Amino acid sequence: MAAKKAERVIVEEWRDILAVHAHTVCELDRELHRHGIGASDFEVLDVLAEGSGEDGGCSYRVQELADRVHLSQSALSRLIGRLEKDGLVQRDMCSEDRRGVRVVLTDEGRARHAEVLPLQRAVLARMLAERHTGA
């Protein structure tokens, strides 16, 4: 009986985490939509803006980005395509591996990131505070 109760607690905690994540992503998407991007788009811009890829610069191989933003490579490739079409990122060939592709933040991408960064951080702060206060 105690094992079943412990299992139930773990499952409830997991579902609470999923609910916070889903609610936060929906709120981010709603707020960021006014700026022409979504939560996943911003996450890619944010990782690129942090600029700590393997090369120490502001570019990442697609696989590095996939690991950082927790998207499948195919979903990330579609997202990068949209960001590239909007002029926010560009793809370059890897100098160390001609089969690889690096994603680089453009000046326009850097400007959009800077524009929406305070908004994204405010939404995160509000949503995570709600989680801790139970609001």
- Does residue 123 register a pLDDT over 60? yes
Alpha-carbon distance of 78 to 48, in angstroms, equals 17
In the prediction, which pLDDT does 2 show? 78
Q: Please write the tens of the pLDDT for every residue from 94-119.
A: 666 666 788 999 999 999 999 999 99
- Does residue 72 register a pLDDT over 70? yes
- Structural domains of the chain sorted by starting position, each given as residue range(s) with its CATH number in brackets: 2-133 (1.10.10.10)
Task: Spell out the residues 6+ positions from residue 130 whose beta carbon is closer than 8 angstroms to its own.
Answer: none
The CA radius of gyration of the chain, in Å to the nearest whole number, is 18
Q: At what angle do helices 107-133 and 39-50 cross, to 10 degrees?
A: 110
Task: Spell out the residues 6+ positions from residue 104 whose beta carbon is closer than 8 angstroms to its own.
Answer: 48, 58, 59, 89, 90, 91, 92
